[in-house]
Structure 1
Amino acid sequence: MSISRKPRALYLRIADALRAEISDGTLAPGARLPTETDLATRWDTTRSTAIKGLSVLINEGLVVSDRPRGHFVRDRKPMAYRPQAEFQRRPLSPAMDAFMAQLSDEGRTASQQIEVAIVQPSRDIRERLQLQDGQLAAVRRRLRYVDGEPYNTNDSYFPLDLVQGTEIMDPKDIARGANVVLSELGYEQVRALDEVHVRMPSPEEVDRLHLGPGTPVAVHVVTGFTSADKPVRVVVNVLPGDRHVITWERSKPRLAGPLSIRPATDTELDTVVALWGEAATWLNNQGIDQWQYAPREERIAANIDAGECYLVEDGDVAVATITVDKFADPDFWSEEEAAEPALYVHRMAVRRDVSGCELGSAMLDWASEQAEAQGLTWLRLDAWRDNGGLHEYYGSRGFEHMRTVEAEGRRSGVLFQRPAGHIRRLGPELRTAPESASPASTEGA
């Protein structure tokens, strides 16, 4: 069943066509649009319909009316607003505050008007600062200009009893920043809660920021807390949508350590299997046939029961697993080698979202320390025969390639060993959980 739709109103089609020309650069910033009469002629319509189409673009903030000269494409130069700069360290004696410095670096002219007042805070501010009814706040109100145009407002609220008599109460630039002043007063902010609200502006904001019709604002509210979880500052930033690009920079958290390593429990079989399975999937995506079979859960469970399977945790999240035992697989190791005291590494797997942090190297160091602590001579492992990259990895971590064994029905067999106690000190520090015992001496895997 087809759905019939009414044709789009002509004034909207006029706006659509002009918007497209602005978007593709045909009408550049500052360019004069066709007159209302020209548009009416081009679209075979009335002048009032053309005016209505132009009004749509004015309300969207794309066009400005400058009568009697006509309508012009707005020349917008958005300011990059970077909330993450709030706690970045700055020189203690900077030439100007952070806002002024940023715009100066971008080759633009920045200025600001500052007012300071003692106020009965609104309910929202009072709740964020955890003030009692009747408790006063100090507010530093800043109206910021870029190239002579009001760009945003920045109103900072503080509990009055914290900042009374300080330079925060002086309506002048604080070049080193109010955050530094709070730190000097003993109220260093160590974390912040960010809230972003998008709405239409209030009449006061329209007047204060000279906003055109239809211009929305983003309101960025920041509450700063001390290490004692005391809120000491609330900042309300009002950012006109036609003048800002809000930019957040994020980086993948890296493993700094120390991390904990402990034996897996019998309830964590699924966790170990998941780590193994993710590694197998990644290997398959790399065109490597290692571990391309269903996990041998009964063998993993036996290693867990024997205290030989370990988990590495970042906080309370398992990020890697390793199994160590004293069993010399007769398919690979000779009787003479099996008689030598050694610890053997199996099923070492690292989550992909922490790859590149040398966590595998750290686990090998940990295993080497365990072997030395037990008076053993060697740390040994057998690697998948077709995984050349893995062979290079072990070679670069101090392992000696002894030989390659091709046992029937086995895809592993590239044998490596390095002396017990040999430590490369790569990757995060691993600390054995206090309740953890040394790797079990149970024979058999």
Structure 2
Amino acid sequence: MAVSGRPRALYQRIADKYRGEIADGTLGPGARLPTEAEIAADWDTSRTTAVQGLRVLVNEGLIISDRPRGYFVRSRQPMVYRPQAEFRKRPLSPELDAFLTQMTDDGREAGQRIEVQVITPTDDIRERLRLSERELVAVRRRIRFIDGIPFNINDSHFPLSLVQDSEIMSPEDIARGANTVLAELGYEQVRALDKIQVRMPTPDEADRLQLGPGTPVAVHHCTGYTQDGRPVRAVVNVLPGDRHVIMYERSRPSLGSDPVIRPAAEGDLRTVTELWEHAADWLNSRGIDQWQYPPRSERIKQNIADGECWIVEDDAVPVATITVDKHADSDFWSSEEAAEPALYVHRMVVRRDASGYELGSAMLDWASQRAATQGLQWLRLDAWRDNGDLLTYYSNRGFTHVRTVDAENRRSGALFQRPAGRIQDVGPKLTTRDA
């Protein structure tokens, strides 16, 4: 038997009503709510219960109490906080720092208050900067204001030994940014470690930011590192939840500078079959019937044993595979063609998350060079007859369509070849690592 939930208290239902009206826009920013007495009368309850319900909304940051005028819906115009903008290039002599420039561009009045102190670091800052027990830090304590309201805290800590006597020690704006000053001192930051924690503010944070009750904060801890891995800056940004929207922009990382192609080893059988299955699933999702059968593991195993199967790795992660051999398939190539020395491409696959970098073109260039090095005349392949995009792909990469063969029980048969040694020079250069 179903058991009904416990009824919500009357003050909670009062809060629910006005919360809903704020959410749907019935009560817009700055709108005045009914008085405590009016709410009590509407709900046939005591004024104390009405105050309880209103206090819930105050604690949630939805309304403010402005006695004796009453309760009003809080106006919100959050700042968009973009941590990834930190390392973007700036003019060396800008009129304003990045924060002031952004707010001015948005039509808002911005300001900041900065003080600089030399302090004994907290355990967290000491650990992040890898400081010894007695080392001190210089901290630039900054409160940023928008339209006269303290919006966030930005406290940047630096090992005192690195920044003593620099502009960082002055409680003034550094329009070109403290990061640029650090770089000029020989400590350019090339990467940062970010950690975001959501919690209630400390009393000091609530006081500096003039926070009302019930307002959570997001704390962004950012540690900046030099090329040799030395931490040189530890920042604590405190962002009130009712005043900020955190926005991250992410992009797919590019391939490493020199992807490696190596022969597959016995233990790579599963890697090759997984790459093949991955490609087959993607083809199926596009309505292409190519490779819609289980991988021929025994054949792949033999290719590996014969040194014909190769794997491309990026940062030691397998991202592609190709098989090359000198065996002309008698279903497709004539005896005259088979007599011509050629290298044949099979089972070329690129992981979808590595697509767009022309790895396939790079593998074909690698195979073409390999064929030329071995004194062969052609680089050849047979493609799936019904995959029009694939046929266009090979035509655009210097292959000539020889003919299409409709062999019994075979779905490939579109025959292509290009002279051995012909290089398109498209895509990354593959570094061969022989076994």
TM-score by length of 1: 0.95
Please list every run of 5 or more consecutive structure 2 residues that lacks an aligned counterpart in the other structure: none
1:356 Cα deviation from its structure 2 partner: 2.1
Q: Which stretch of the first structure deviates more once superposed, 124-133 or 266-275?
A: 124-133
Give the 5 Å matches for 1:343-382: 343-382=343-382
Q: Take 1:110 and 1:426, find their aligned partners in 2: how far apart are those partners?
A: 49
Give the 5 Å matches for 1:229-240: 229-240=229-240
Q: Take 2:196 and 2:408, find their aligned partners in 1: how far apart are those partners?
A: 63
Post-superposition CA distance 1:169-208 (Å, at most 9, x none)? 1110001111111111111111211121211111111111
Q: Which amino acid aligns with 1:118?
A: V
Give the 5 Å matches for 1:374-413: 374-413=374-413
User: What is residue 282 of structure 1 aligned with on the other side?
Assistant: 282
Q: Take 2:239 and 2:56, find their aligned partners in 1: how far apart are those partners?
A: 22
User: What is residue 39 of structure 1 aligned with on the other side?
Assistant: 39
Give the 5 Å matches for 1:12-411: 12-255=12-255, 257-411=257-411
1:343 Cα deviation from its structure 2 partner: 0.8
1:62 Cα deviation from its structure 2 partner: 0.6
Cα pair 1:221 1:234 within 8 Å, conserved: yes
Q: Take 1:430 and 1:203, find their aligned partners in 2: how far apart are those partners?
A: 57
User: What is residue 416 of structure 2 aligned with on the other side?
Assistant: 416
Q: Which amino acid aligns with 1:344?
A: Y
- Please give the secondary structure, in 1, of the residue aligned with 2:267: coil
Q: Which amino acid aligns with 1:134?
A: R
1:407 Cα deviation from its structure 2 partner: 1.3
Post-superposition CA distance 1:3-62 (Å, at most 9, x none)? 232211111111111111111111111111122222222222222211111111000001
Q: Which amino acid aligns with 2:346?
A: H
Q: Take 1:143 and 1:158, find their aligned partners in 2: how far apart are those partners?
A: 18
Cα pair 2:380 2:415 within 8 Å, conserved: yes
Q: Take 1:315 and 1:273, find their aligned partners in 2: how far apart are those partners?
A: 20
Q: Take 1:427 and 1:69, find their aligned partners in 2: how far apart are those partners?
A: 69
Q: Take 1:388 and 1:143, find their aligned partners in 2: how far apart are those partners?
A: 60
Post-superposition CA distance 1:365-421 (Å, at most 9, x none)? 111111122222211100111212211111111111111111122111110111112
1:292 Cα deviation from its structure 2 partner: 1.1
Post-superposition CA distance 1:285-317 (Å, at most 9, x none)? 111111111111111111111111000000111
1:141 Cα deviation from its structure 2 partner: 0.6
Q: Which amino acid aligns with 1:242?
A: D
Q: Take 1:255 and 1:158, find their aligned partners in 2: how far apart are those partners?
A: 34
- What value does the CA root-mean-square deviation take over the aligned residues? 1.2
Cα pair 2:366 2:430 within 8 Å, conserved: yes
Please list every run of 5 or more consecutive structure 1 residues that lacks an aligned counterpart in the other structure: 437-445
Cα pair 1:259 1:315 within 8 Å, conserved: yes
User: What is residue 442 of structure 1 aligned with on the other side?
Assistant: none
Q: Take 2:257 and 2:124, find their aligned partners in 1: how far apart are those partners?
A: 39
Cα pair 1:378 1:418 within 8 Å, conserved: yes
Q: Take 1:296 and 1:202, find their aligned partners in 2: how far apart are those partners?
A: 62
Give the 5 Å matches for 1:405-444: 405-433=405-433, 435-436=434-435
Q: Which amino acid aligns with 2:42?
A: R
Q: Take 2:167 and 2:211, find their aligned partners in 1: how far apart are those partners?
A: 32
- Please give the secondary structure, in 2, of the residue aligned with 1:402: strand
- Please give the secondary structure, in 2, of the residue aligned with 1:275: helix
1:257 Cα deviation from its structure 2 partner: 3.4
1:256 Cα deviation from its structure 2 partner: 5.2
Cα pair 1:257 1:430 within 8 Å, conserved: no
User: What is residue 443 of structure 1 aligned with on the other side?
Assistant: none
1:346 Cα deviation from its structure 2 partner: 0.2
Q: Take 1:48 and 1:422, find their aligned partners in 2: how far apart are those partners?
A: 87
Q: Take 1:153 and 1:104, find their aligned partners in 2: how far apart are those partners?
A: 19
Q: Which amino acid aligns with 2:180?
A: V
1:425 Cα deviation from its structure 2 partner: 1.9
Q: Which stretch of the first structure deviates more once superposed, 184-193 or 305-314?
A: 184-193
User: What is residue 440 of structure 1 aligned with on the other side?
Assistant: none
1:133 Cα deviation from its structure 2 partner: 1.6
Q: Take 2:6 and 2:105, find their aligned partners in 1: how far apart are those partners?
A: 52
Q: Sequence identity, in percent?
A: 67
Post-superposition CA distance 1:310-331 (Å, at most 9, x none)? 0000011100000011111111
Q: Take 1:259 and 1:45, find their aligned partners in 2: how far apart are those partners?
A: 73
Cα pair 1:31 1:72 within 8 Å, conserved: yes
TM-score by length of 2: 0.98
Q: Which amino acid aligns with 1:173?
A: D
- Please give the secondary structure, in 1, of the residue aligned with 2:390: helix
Cα pair 2:258 2:429 within 8 Å, conserved: yes
Q: Take 2:310 and 2:230, find their aligned partners in 1: how far apart are those partners?
A: 40
Q: Take 1:14 and 1:323, find their aligned partners in 2: how far apart are those partners?
A: 70
Q: Take 1:163 and 1:251, find their aligned partners in 2: how far apart are those partners?
A: 33
Cα pair 2:256 2:314 within 8 Å, conserved: no
Post-superposition CA distance 1:96-146 (Å, at most 9, x none)? 111111212222111101101111111221221122222211111101101
- Please give the secondary structure, in 1, of the residue aligned with 2:233: strand
